Structure 1
């Protein structure tokens, strides 16, 4: 007897929509920004623990350092190498 054929591959689930964030810096609100763009904003210096952030579902603006779901984007960036 031959082995049973493998089951057909399951359809991939639809992508989860990314949350849209707004950042406040330079006295202005910036956004909406996809969650995947936030690490780049942190590298550019626009997203720091004290940057005010907001997304749909939040009652008010909060410092990014107080929003646990943004911890991934707030990883400290090392300073430039000496002499670089």
Structure 2
């Protein structure tokens, strides 16, 4: 199951679509924790795309600083999401 956090399963992930405004642990902190896990376990860096309703440059900057690879705003533009995924995964 690709959503488990063991290193064996981590290797099968290709990307994470990370909601930035989750309760308890927001997407910024979750991304930082994933990046720390990857580094400590010697794993390849996985693609993390942040998703947020906030189209504010400061939040995009925060997302990138915390380790997200890209940041898209909601509601999601399907064409932009598709283009972004193709750009990163091809």
**TM-score, normalised to structure 1's length?**
0.28
Q: Which has the higher contact order (CA 8 A, sep 6+)?
A: 2
Greater Rg, structure 1 or structure 2? 1
Richer in helix (by share): 2
Richer in strand (by share): 1
**TM-score, normalised to structure 2's length?**
0.27
